[in-house]
Amino acid sequence: MTPAESIAITIITASTPLVLASAGELVTERSGVLNLGVEGMMVMGAVTAFAVAQMTGSPMAGAAAGFVAGAVVSLLFGFLTLTLVANQVATGLALTILGLGLSGMIGESYVGMQGIKLTPIAIPGLSSIPFLGPVLFNQDVIFYFSIALVIFLHWFLFRTRAGLVLRSVGDNHASAHALGVNVVGIRYLAVMFGGACAGLAGAYLSLVYTPQWVENMTAGRGWIALALVVFASWRPLRLIIGGYLFGAVSIGQLHAQAFGIAIPAQFLSAMPYVATVLVLIIISQNRRMTLINTPASLGKSFVPDR
pLDDT, the chain, mean: 90
pLDDT at position 283 over 60: yes
pLDDT value of position 104: 94
Q: What percent of the chain is modeled with pLDDT above 90?
A: 68
pLDDT at position 96 over 90: yes
Q: How confident is the model at residue 4 (pLDDT cuts 50, 70, 90)?
A: confident
DSSP β-bridge partners for residue 139: 121
Q: How confident is the model at residue 35 (pLDDT cuts 50, 70, 90)?
A: very high
Strand pairing report for 121-122 and 138-139: antiparallel
Quick one: average pLDDT of 78-102?
Answer: 96
Considering Cα of 201, then 137, then 228, then 217, what sign does the dihedral take? positive
3-293, what's its fold? Answer: ABC transporter involved in vitamin B12 uptake, BtuC (1.10.3470)
pLDDT at position 207 over 70: yes
Quick one: average pLDDT of 163-190?
Answer: 95
CB contact at 8 A, 57 and 275: no
* Domain boundaries of the chain, sorted by first residue: 3-293
pLDDT value of position 23: 97
DSSP string of the chain? --HHHHHHHHHHHHHHHHHHHHHHHHHHHHTT-----HHHHHHHHHHHHHHHHHHHS-HHHHHHHHHHHHHHHHHHHHIIIIIS---HHHHHHHHHHHHHHHHHHHTGGGTTPPP-PPPPEEPTTGGGSTTHHHHHSEE-HHHHHHHHHHHHHHHHHHHSHHHHHHHHHHH-HHHHHHTT--HHHHHHHHHHHHHHHHHHHHHHIIIIIS-S--TTTTTTHHHHHHHHHHHTTT-THHHHHHHHHHHHHHHHHHHHHHTT-SS-HHHHHHHHHHHHHHHHHHHHH-HHHHHHHS-TTTT----TT-
Give the type of residue at 250.
S
pLDDT value of position 163: 96
Instruction: Give pLDDT tens digits for 231-274.
Output: 888 999 989 988 998 888 877 766 666 666 666 666 666 776 77
Neighbours of 298 (CB within 10 A): 17
